[in-house]
Structure 1
């Protein structure tokens, strides 16, 4: 009996570009929690530099993919968090873009065109203030990491509870009563 990774949490960014490391910082916080036994089975935690092909490959096949990334906004408030579900608001919040060349809407459009979307995708975008070279988040973004991690856990647990446990039996997925 093998438990599948039904939820994939992807921290997008570069920890050596200051606030661009918000996504990997959230994943690092969740990994610490997982080591203490504080996460349910079925959650995979990964980091990615934001290259669309890698990102799409990581979320492909997931029931729920949660992407955490730093964002820039025209009227920026560092540390402010946006929660997006591209299926319900495909354009994302006006004036918000990723620091990785393609914005969330373009990456989702590419995945849709390639038929490689997860069953459900949620994006948490944390507004950053500084993407210059160097490690370490600015205080406002660092303060948001804990609350984003908690929101991601709640999102994952709600999904796992709603859909029920699943196991792989002889190559087929089945629900466990």
Structure 2
């Protein structure tokens, strides 16, 4: 597989802002699971604070980028997961309500202008309840971590099945 077949998973967030740390927690779980069973070859799991330039650097040249981030929704339901899939044709229209000052939408817009978008971007946005200073996820968001990690792994396998013309 060449670099164009690279898959990246990016856990976005700040572990010191309670539920905003869900992305890094999911990334840590995926790394932990990889100790027992290897990830798909050419898969990189990273953590990012949400800075658009860092996000672009992590997903540049990837065939698939999966981003896990906390989100605000009003009215919200803590722990509810939203899946947003964007391919190259729709990436320029992306918009999410990130829990960061500059969000994923800005990173997508900047990457589009610079010609540095991944071929396909899938965002898992998890509604949070508490983004105050402190560590540890609220119970509802913590309960979403395992199923979310499962969803990310399934996403990668579906992508590989589609790329090879097979079903997984």
TM-score when normalising by structure 1: 0.84
Q: Quick one: distance in 2 between partners of 1:61 and 1:78?
A: 33
Deviation at 1:154, TM superposition (A): 0.5
- Check if 1:129 corresponds to 2:107: no
SS at 2:123's partner residue? strand
Aligned residue pairs total 160
In the TM superposition, residue 102 of structure 1 has moved relative to its aligned partner by: 2.2
Counterparts of 1:30 and 1:16 in 2: how far apart (Å)? 20
Task: Give the Cα–Cα distance (whole angstroms) in 1 for the partners of residues 122 and 99 of structure 2.
Answer: 18
Partner of 2:69: 69
CA contact (8 A) 1:86 1:108 kept: no
What is residue 50 of structure 1 aligned with on the other side?
Answer: 50
Q: Does the C-alpha gap of structure 1 residues 113 and 19 become closer, same or farther in structure 2, counting only changes over 3 Å?
A: same
Give 1:158 deviation, angstroms.
1.4
Return structure 1 stretches of 4+ with deviation > 6 angstroms.
Answer: none
Cα distance in 1 for partners of 2:71, 2:163 equals 31
Q: Secondary structure at the match of 2:72?
A: strand
Following superposition, the deviation at residue 114 of structure 1 comes to 1.1
User: 1:160–1:91: structure 2 CA closer, same or farther, 3 Å change rule?
Assistant: closer
CA positional deviation for 1:107: 2.0
Q: After superposition, what is the alpha-carbon deviation per residue over 1:39-62, rounded to whole angstroms, capped at 9, x for unaligned?
A: 222211000000000011000000
Say yes or no: does 1:59 pair with 2:59. Answer: yes
5+ unaligned residues in a row in structure 1: which ranges?
A: 165-177
Q: Which has the higher strand share?
A: 1
Cα distance per residue 1:45-99 (max 9 Å; x no partner) = 000000000011000000000000000011110000011123448344xxx6112
The match for 1:110 is: 110
Structure with greater proportional helix content: 2
Describe how 1:132-151 pairs up with structure 2 within 5 A. Answer: 132-151=132-151
Q: What residue number does 2:14 align with?
A: 14
Normalising by structure 2, report the TM-score: 0.88
CA-atom RMSD in angstroms: 1.8
In 2, Cα distance between equivalents of 1:106 and 1:86: 15
Q: How far, CA to CA, are the matches of 2:97 and 2:160 in structure 1? A: 30
